[in-house]
Amino acid sequence: MRARDGAELTLLGAVWGASFLFMRMGAAEFGAVAVAALRVTGAALLLMPLLALRGQMTALRHHWRPIFVVGVINSALPFLGFAYALMSITAGLAAIFNSTAPLFGAVVAWMWLNERLTRLRITGLALGFGGVVALGWSNVNGAAGFKAGGTGWAVVACISASALYGLAANYTRKRLVGVPPLAVAAGSQLAATLCLALPAVIWWPQAAPSPRAWIAMVLLAFVCTGFAYLLFFRLIAHAGAANAIAVTYLVPLFAMLWGGWFLGEQVTPTMIAGGAIILLGTALATGIVRARQPML
């Protein structure tokens, strides 16, 4: 990986880590539905004109049905789940749960696409899910990461959102091979916007949100979603998918950094240990870490 690619990878980790900060800053005033709707709407407003400028609208028209499905299971529902969760838990903890998405992706690939699981990958799955269970249990019992009045359903929402990410990744591999990535990114955000428009109107906050909350929403939509998608696909093109997916390891670190810096969130030994176990399991389950071949 070139130095420039490494810098862009770090930037992407910082940007996606900040998305948890901004969701938490906005969720209390906007509510989960409005946060998710504003996020995808802003991203669609940024990405759709770029799609038109690159002359790729035809790809969106030809593949709109699977792209619509991706918009629902990779954006609308997961964004809603994490926005709901961040009303109860810290940004750092939510990001740690988010890092389980590749674990779910590996399970779905095995069950649906008949992808082979080696002993090492099975060990990784067991480690990763064990870390999730341990971390979730400790937080439900108040050990770390919960805000006052938080509910254990936040953990369920995070894990469900991550499972949907894993499903979406495999659905994209199955149904959208060869489709321009920008068409998938822009079209999925537009689809999610259409899905969340009416719920956002129904559950729009009665009290006017503060300027601070609005700023958080603008940054979440245009920087942490629209710009981040462009940066991610650029990394895939220049550094390869295997290198780009390494951002999974950076997002929780930045989320905990931003949460501690701007919101005074506490990072506990339980969170660090649980996060390390989950990331190790992810590395093994996704094949990023492989057993060394014996020398002949």
Averaged pLDDT of the chain? 87
Per cent of the chain over pLDDT 90 is: 48
| Mean local confidence (pLDDT), 63-72 | 96
| The CA-based dihedral angle spanning residues 53, 58, 62, 67, taken in that order and rounded to the nearest 10 degrees | 0
pTM of the entire structure? Answer: 0.88
Whether residue 296 has pLDDT greater than 50: no
> So what's the pLDDT on residue 238?
75
Task: Give the residue with greater pLDDT, 39 vs 287.
Answer: 39
- Dist. CA 223–CA 187, nearest whole Å: 18
In this predicted structure, the answer to whether residue 9 has a pLDDT above a threshold of 60 is yes
* pLDDT for position 295: 43
Q: What is the pLDDT of residue 129?
A: 83
In this model, does residue 12 exceed pLDDT 80? yes
Is residue 36 within 8 A of residue 225, CB to CB? The reply is no
pLDDT at 290 over 70: no
- Nearest to residue 151, comparing CAs of 95, 89, 203, 83? 89
The three-state DSSP-derived secondary structure of 205-242 is: CCCCCCHHHHHHHHHHHHHHHHHHHHHHHHHHHHHCHH
User: Whose structure tokens read 């910082």?
Assistant: 14
pLDDT at 151 over 70: no
pLDDT digits (tens, 9 = 90+) for 13-55: 999 999 999 999 999 999 999 999 999 999 999 999 999 999 9
Q: Any idea which of 15-19, 203-207, 252-256 has the lowest mean pLDDT? A: 252-256
Average pLDDT of span 104-129 = 86
* Distance set, CA 53 to CA 44, 49, 175, 202 (Å): 14, 6, 25, 34
pLDDT at 113: 85
Which pLDDT tens digit goes with each residue over 208-240?
A: 999 999 999 999 999 999 999 888 888 877 776
Under the banding of pLDDT at 50, 70 and 90, the label for residue 248 is: confident
The reported pLDDT for the residue numbered 75 is 96
Tell me the mean pLDDT in the region 95-100.
88
Supply the pLDDT for residue 240: 67
- pLDDT(124) > 90: no
What's residue 155's pLDDT?
A: 87
* Triad 252, 247, 275: Cα angle to 5°: 30
Residue 92 has pLDDT above 70, yes or no: yes
29: Cβ–Cβ under 8 A, 6 or more apart, which residues? 205, 207, 209, 210, 213
